A and B are shown apart, each in its own frame.
Chain A
């Protein structure tokens, strides 16, 4: 093998090592390079996603219509059910509003959200991120919460491009959220990184009794996720006392995320308040 090739390999590897160590020491990325690359590639990703969607819509719109009538009937029934649930929720909300007024509490306003389409998946198998088609021009900022119909999806990371933003999923190994067990009312931290796509509930008092299937909600204490959004439910509890390991099944099906909602209202954390 030629000496020149080996020299080139050593130079490139040293360059990478220096780049990594600079970021690890400063605890930050390389903003300019990241912004340019992400902004440019987001457009390509948008185009690729558009093409893939076009092919998919041709298939689903023309070739796979045999179950459409059945789906239509099921969907109509679901709409009726949801309308009923909405009525019940509205009634509950008005009662809560009256109580808040009576107790002279600050009104809990519904968060403003922005719908976004997922245009790209995780670029490398290790990182669980998605790219959405909304960015800084739409009011999206770093650390904004991202939710779906069923619960919490993740948060916006990095500086968003004009028309795209990167969302770190809650199941990513470096993601976490402040959480609360609905029945026992005890707080903890929900963290990702489980190989099976589950979440771990940590820092919960070992004295607290936890039931299987108990719902886990956001507390709002982290300053990212608004209070009361569903994270998931307790799936399994292994061990006892301090060694207790609580596994949470996420309410969102992360294998099928197409449309998400970005929560535009960022609230200060309990610590900041």
Chain B
């Protein structure tokens, strides 16, 4: 694992989150691209990387949202770690399998957030099922796209380079 790569992945996720969230403020469509980034890192570079990504991503989100710093950090650290452990225990190589892990991680993360919020407020906030399921679905789709693109892009670029080289060769010949 390279720390700079992990940090870059998390920062990109944070920027994408705030950029896209601008168009869905206060709407029914909730999503957490930072969580998708944390799961991506955890499945690609194992538990420690997931933990670091979760800590950095969660703390950044806490700082930007003006709430209590550490709540999101703790939830994402645990989620990143748990996802990394799951990724090492089971074979999750295909994008759709990884998207399911993203969905599971979303539910796990949301439950931790609710428990922490309940402990801080001294009041159980209730389970927003529809919002949670919506977020799970959107995060899973985003996770699928992220894993699919990261698997497909290097191959496509390589094929493009090969074909350019091939056509140049034919012209030279």
Binding site for B on A (CB under 8 A): 1, 5, 8-9, 12-13, 16-17, 19-20, 23-24, 29-30, 33-34, 37-38, 41, 44-45, 48-49, 52, 118-131, 157-158, 166, 168-169, 171, 195-197, 254-255, 257
Contact indicator A125/B48 (Cβ below 8 Å): no
Residue in contact with B65 in the complex, picked from A12, A23, A127, CB distance below 8 Å: A127
Residues of B52-93 at the interface with A, using a CB-CB cut-off of 8 Å, are 55, 60-74, 77-78, 81, 85
Contact indicator B25/A23 (Cβ below 8 Å): no
CA distance A169 to B48 in the complex (A): 36
Q: Hey, which chain B residues are within 8 Å of A17, CB to CB?
A: 70, 74
Residue in contact with B63 in the complex, picked from A33, A49, A52, A196, CB distance below 8 Å: A33
Q: Hey, which chain A residues are within 8 Å of B4, CB to CB?
A: none
The reply on B167 being an interface residue by CB < 8 A is no
Q: Given known contacts A45-B15, A166-B66, A195-B130, is B27 in contact with A123 (CB within 8 Å)?
A: no
Q: Given known contacts A17-B70, A121-B24, A128-B25, is B60 in contact with A195 (CB within 8 Å)?
A: no
Q: Given known contacts A48-B15, A48-B18, A129-B65, is B72 in contact with A124 (CB within 8 Å)?
A: yes
Nearest chain A residue, comparing its CB with the CB of B131: A195
CA distance A257 to B71 in the complex (A): 27
Q: Hey, which chain A residues are within 8 Å of B65, CB to CB?
A: 122-124, 126-127, 129, 166
Most chain A CB within a 10 A radius of its CB, from B27, B48, B69: B69
Contact indicator B27/A49 (Cβ below 8 Å): no
The reply on B19 being an interface residue by CB < 8 A is yes
Shortest distance between the CB of A230 and any CB in chain B (Å): 17
CA distance A243 to B76 in the complex (A): 38
Contact indicator A52/B22 (Cβ below 8 Å): yes
Q: Hey, which chain B residues are within 8 Å of A8, CB to CB?
A: 48, 51
Q: Given known contacts A44-B15, A45-B18, is B113 in contact with A126 (CB within 8 Å)?
A: yes
- Give the total of B residues in contact with A, Cβ under 8 Å: 49
Nearest chain B residue, comparing its CB with the CB of A21: B70
Contact indicator B69/A33 (Cβ below 8 Å): yes
Binding site for A on B (CB under 8 A): 14-15, 17-28, 30-32, 34, 47-48, 51, 55, 60-74, 77-78, 81, 85, 113, 116-117, 120, 128, 130-131, 135
A-B contact pairs, 24 of them (CB 8 A): A5-B47, A12-B51, A13-B74, A20-B74, A41-B18, A48-B18, A121-B23, A121-B25, A123-B18, A123-B61, A124-B17, A124-B61, A124-B64, A125-B30, A125-B32, A125-B131, A126-B65, A126-B67, A127-B65, A127-B66, A168-B66, A197-B27, A254-B26, A255-B24
Q: Given known contacts A34-B63, A38-B63, A131-B18, is B27 in contact with A125 (CB within 8 Å)?
A: no
Q: Hey, which chain B residues are within 8 Å of A123, CB to CB?
A: 14, 17-18, 21, 34, 60-61, 64-65
Residue in contact with B22 in the complex, picked from A24, A33, A120, CB distance below 8 Å: A120
Residue in contact with B25 in the complex, picked from A13, A19, A34, A257, CB distance below 8 Å: A257
Contact indicator A120/B19 (Cβ below 8 Å): yes
CA distance A48 to B47 in the complex (A): 30
Contact indicator B48/A5 (Cβ below 8 Å): yes
Contact indicator A16/B25 (Cβ below 8 Å): no
Contact indicator B135/A125 (Cβ below 8 Å): yes
CA distance A123 to B72 in the complex (A): 11
Q: Hey, which chain B residues are within 8 Å of A49, CB to CB?
A: 19, 22
Shortest distance between the CB of A221 and any CB in chain B (Å): 24
Shortest distance between the CB of B6 and any CB in chain A (Å): 14
CA distance A126 to B28 in the complex (A): 12
CA distance A213 to B86 in the complex (A): 52
CA distance A5 to B48 in the complex (A): 7
CA distance A49 to B28 in the complex (A): 21
Q: Hey, which chain B residues are within 8 Å of A45, CB to CB?
A: 15, 18-19
Contact indicator B69/A122 (Cβ below 8 Å): no
CA distance A44 to B85 in the complex (A): 33
Contact indicator B22/A124 (Cβ below 8 Å): no
Q: Hey, which chain B residues are within 8 Å of A38, CB to CB?
A: 63-64
CA distance A166 to B24 in the complex (A): 17
